[in-house]
Amino acid sequence: MIRFLAGRLGFAALVLFCLSAFVFLLFFVAPGDPARMVAGDKATEAQLIQIRSNLGLDRPILVQYASFLSRAATGDLGFSYRNQQPVASLILNRIPATVSLVVGGTLLWLAIGIPIGVMSACHVGGLRDRIGQSFILIGLSFPTFVLGMMSLYLFYFLPRQAGFTLFPPGGYKPLLADPLVWAWHLVLPWTTLVLVTAAIYARLTRGQLLQVLGEDYIRTARAKGLSERVVVYRHALRATLTPLVTQLGADIALLLGGAIVIEQVYGLQGVGALAVQAVKNQDRPIIIGVVLLGGLFIVIANIAVDLLYVVLDPRLR
C-alpha cells in the first residue's frame, strides 16, 4: 500500500514538473514583451532594460526556469507583472469562492442527478424514464453561459424591474461573515452549474444501473425476497459507484482549477476569473500559477480516485 502510494505521489510530482516546464517554454516562445506590459507604452528603452533585469528576464531560459522551480518548491510563485503582488496569495484569495461554488454544486448535482438516473433506469421505457431522459437531454444541450444568462434574466433582472430583489446578480460573500448571505449569493451560480452537471450524472447513473440490473447477483437479491427498493439502492447502486467516482474525481478537479464560464457570468472572484484576467493582461506568473494549481488538483483527484477504488472494490485489495 505504501509503495503504491509513494509510486503515485512520485508520478504526480513528475506530471507537475513536466507541466511547469511546458508552460514555461510556451511563454518563452510566445510573442509579446513582458517588460513592456509592466512599464507601459511610454517607457524608455533604458527603463525596459532595467525592468528586464529586475524581473530576471535577461537571463537564459534554463536559469529562469531553475530559479522559478527552486522558489516554487517553497511556495513562492513570483509576483504579478501588473500589480507586483505575490502570485501565491493572489490565488489563495480566490480559492474560497471557487471551492464554495464547486463543493456546494457537487453535493447538489449528486443529490439531483443520481436519483433522476435511478428513477429513469427503474422505469425504463416508461413515463418516468422519459421525464428523466428529457431532463438529461435539456441539461446536456444547454451551454453553460446560455443557462447562466437565462437565470440571471429570470431571477435577477425581471424581479428587479418589478421592483424587488429575488437573488443578487452575483459576487462572492465570505461564508464566515454570514452563511445566509453567502448561500444567497451562490444560489444562481449553483443552479446553473448543477443543471448542466446533474444531467451528466443522471445519464451515467441510468446507463450503469441498467447494466447492473441485468446482472445475476441482482436476480439473486430479488430471489432472497428483498424489496425492489433495497435491491436497487443496496445492491445495484453499490455496484455503479466505481464509474461515478471516476467521473466525480475528474469533474471536481477540473472545476477547482477554475469554473471559468460560471465565474465570469456571475462575477464570482474565483480562480477561473483570475485566470481570464491574467490571460487578458498577459500576466505570465499568474497564468503559470493557475495552470499549476489546476494540474495539482487533477493529480490529487486521480490519486484519491485510485484509493477510493480500493475502498469500494474488495477485489482490488
Partner 1 sequence: MTLLEARDLVVRLPVEDGVVHATQGVSFSVAAGEVFGIAGESGSGKSVLTQALTGLIRGAQVSGSVTFQGRNLLRLAARDLCGLRGSQIGMIFQDPLSSLHPFHTIGRQIAEVIHVHERVGGAEARRRVVAMLDRVGIADPDKRFDDYPHQFSGGMRQRVMIAMALVLNPPLVIADEPTTALDVTVQAQIISLLDEMRRERGTAIVLITHDLGLLSRIADRVMILYAGQRVEIAPSRSLFAQPAHPYTAALLRSSPGHHSPGGEIAPIPGRPPSLLVPSRACVFAPRCTEAMPICVARKPPLRLFDDGARALCWLEDGARAPAPRTPAGAPPPRPSRGGEAPILEAEGVRLSYPTGRLLGGRGRHEVLRGIDLALWRGETLGLVGESGSGKSTLAQVLAGLVPTTGGHVTFEGKRLDGLDSRGWTALRRQVQVVFQDPFGSLNPRRRVGAIIGDPFRIHGLAKGQARKAEVRGLMEMVGLDPEHYNRFPSEFSGGQRQRIGIARALALKPSLVILDEPVSALDVSIQAQILNLLRSLQRDLGLTYLFISHDLAVVRHVCDRIAVMRAGEIVELADTEDIHARPGHLYTRMLLGASHTAPIPAAVHTRRLVETTNEVAT
**Residues in region 3-42 near partner 1 by CB under 8 A:** 3-4
Q: Does 206 interact with partner 1 (rule: CB under 8 A)?
A: no
Minimal CA–CA distance to 175: which of 163, 166, 183, 167?
183
Instruction: Choose among 249, 251, 214, 212: nearest CA to 233.
Output: 212
Query: What's the min distance (Å) between Cβ of 222 and partner 1?
Result: 6
Residue of the chain from 31, 40, 75, 225 that contacts partner 1 (CB under 8 A):
225
Residues 286 to 315 in contact with partner 1, rule: CB under 8 A = 312-315
Q: By CB under 8 A, how many residues form the interface with partner 1? A: 25
Residue among 222, 243, 260, 304 that touches partner 1 (CB under 8 A): 222
> Does residue 175 touch partner 1 according to CB under 8 A?
no
For residue 245 the three cell numbers come to 467516482
Which amino acid is residue 184, in one-letter code?
W
Contacts of the segment 269-278: beta carbons below 8 A, 24+ positions apart: 269/93, 269/94, 269/97, 269/171, 269/172, 270/94, 270/95, 270/97, 270/98, 270/101, 270/172, 271/91, 271/94, 271/95, 271/97, 271/98, 272/98, 273/94, 274/90, 274/91, 274/94, 278/80
| By CB under 8 A, residue 220 contacts partner 1 | yes
227, 283, 286, 288: residue in contact with partner 1 (rule CB under 8 A)? 227
Spatial separation of the C-alpha atoms in residues 189 and 200, rounded to whole Å: 17
From candidates 78, 235, 248, 275, binder to partner 1 by CB under 8 A = 235
How far separated are the first and last CA of the chain, in Å rounded?
9
Q: Which among 16-24, 150-158, 188-196, 233-241 is the span making contact with partner 1, rule CB under 8 A? A: 233-241
Q: Kindly state the smallest distance separating residue 124's Cβ from partner 1, in Å.
A: 10
Task: Candidates 55, 239, 252, 292: give the one binding partner 1 (CB under 8 A).
Answer: 239
Binding interface with partner 1 (CB under 8 A): 1, 3-4, 215-217, 219-228, 230, 235, 238-239, 312-316
